[in-house]
Amino acid sequence: MSTDQARSSSKTISTPFGSTDAERLVVAQSTELFSTSQPLILASGEKLGPIQVAYETYGTLSEEKDNAIFICHALTGDAHAAGKYSLEDSKAGWWDEFIGPGRGIDTDKYFVICANVLGGCTGTTGPTSISPQTGKRYGLEFPFITVEDMVRVHRALMANLGIETLAAVIGGSLGGMQVLEWVAQAPDNLQNAIVLASAAQLSAQGIAFNTVGRRAIYADPNFNDGEYHQNDEVPKYGLALARMIAHITYLSESSIEMKFGRKLQDESDEFAFELQQETEFQIESYLHYQGNRFVERFDANSYLYLTRAMDYFDLAARYDGLDAALKKTSARFLIASYTTDWLFASAQSRELVSTLISNDKHVSFCELESPFGHDAFLLEIDQLTQIVRAFLQAED
């Protein structure tokens, strides 16, 4: 990706990032990439530009610009991977325990970047953005996007920051798919690829759950063909239901049993005998809570676009086989799966490992024990820190 395709409003190459709350305050950043005259040509053939990209950085970029690690976030994640925007914030970034001095990704050593994906709803151009052609929100007029497009935008961001080679690219779930696409797109531009709880394609079961989630949004009476912002009534019921369905796939049977079992919300431990009592069991209350909280921070149209991009991702099909997709890179690989993850089963990780071994690539594989299912890469920070730290240190 050439630098003449990117125009920047800011170029931050140092964000001091320490261990105390005061030292872990971060600033949301934004850069404009591409343009109307030099748009991004999407995988669909459509053109898009300019593109606003929201991102955050942690640590200091070396003079040689050889210590950058790019974090690819998961489906409903964002660029706010670590730290807080103010001391009053109640919650830190989604991978806060993993990023910082002496942590899994050591900001004393690495310059860390995380950017919101194309099609997202937290600062990067997506369906909620204003179209320069109409002056209105894109809505469903936003062009179809793929994981390939997401990575091309993030590669343009790296070029805009003057970073030619990445020390590592890391991500879980949809983020892991982006890591694999980085390897295929730019085989000479990254030294390490870390793929967590992910695969070269989504399974039919995963596509099925995404389909049901999208149908819930479409069926919401407030969806209004994606033009719901005109009425100030978002499809909150459909979006909440989509999140509830998806969240079940992120858990495991053992984690649900361990945390909730069949416990009731009512302390009297007696059934209400009411059909419309939707939160009688604690697991019901938990899922409703997750759905309602999701509506407060995410956009329904973005959910439609991003889940479809996830469905379409098929590394082998796009590059004429996994061998062709992975054989050109000299990157070292760390592939990690989790024993109770049934959304991205370990068998899919082993397929990646076998392909890499057959192509004489340096690959480490860990199947990690965890009761937490697919969400383990976001929850089991201590064990993730151990394997990532050891993997990166082995290169020194």
Burial class (CB in 10 A: 0-12, 13-18, 19+), 264: middle
- Of 73, 370, 374, 375, the catalytic one is 374
Q: What is the CA radius of gyration of the chain?
A: 21
Q: Beta strands 111-115 and 51-60: pairing type?
A: antiparallel
The neighbour count for residue 44, using CB atoms within 10 Å, is: 14
Report how far residue 174's alpha carbon sits from residue 236's, in angstroms, rounded to the nearest whole number.
24
Report how far residue 99's alpha carbon sits from residue 340's, in angstroms, rounded to the nearest whole number.
25
Residue 374 is a catalytic residue: yes
- Of 149, 299, 341, 375, the catalytic one is 341
User: What residue type is assigned to position 327 of the chain?
Assistant: K
3 state SS of 241: helix
Residue 341 is a catalytic residue: yes
Beta strands in 61-164 (DSSP E): 68-72, 111-115
- Of 78, 129, 173, 370, the catalytic one is 173
Query: Can you read off the two tokens belonging to residue 237?
Result: 């019921």
Q: How far is CA 203 from CA 24, 142, 199, 233, 259, in A?
A: 38, 26, 9, 34, 27
Report how far residue 177's alpha carbon sits from residue 231's, in angstroms, rounded to the nearest whole number.
36
Report how far residue 196's alpha carbon sits from residue 10's, in angstroms, rounded to the nearest whole number.
31
DSSP state of 59: E
Longest dimension (CA), the chain: 68
Q: Kindly report the backbone phi and psi dihedral angles of residue 219, in degrees, each rounded to the nearest multiple of 5, phi listed first.
A: -80, -10
Specify the length of the chain in residues.
396
Comparing CA positions, the residue from 211, 162, 182 lying closest to residue 6 is: 162
Q: Which residues are catalytic?
A: 173, 341, 374
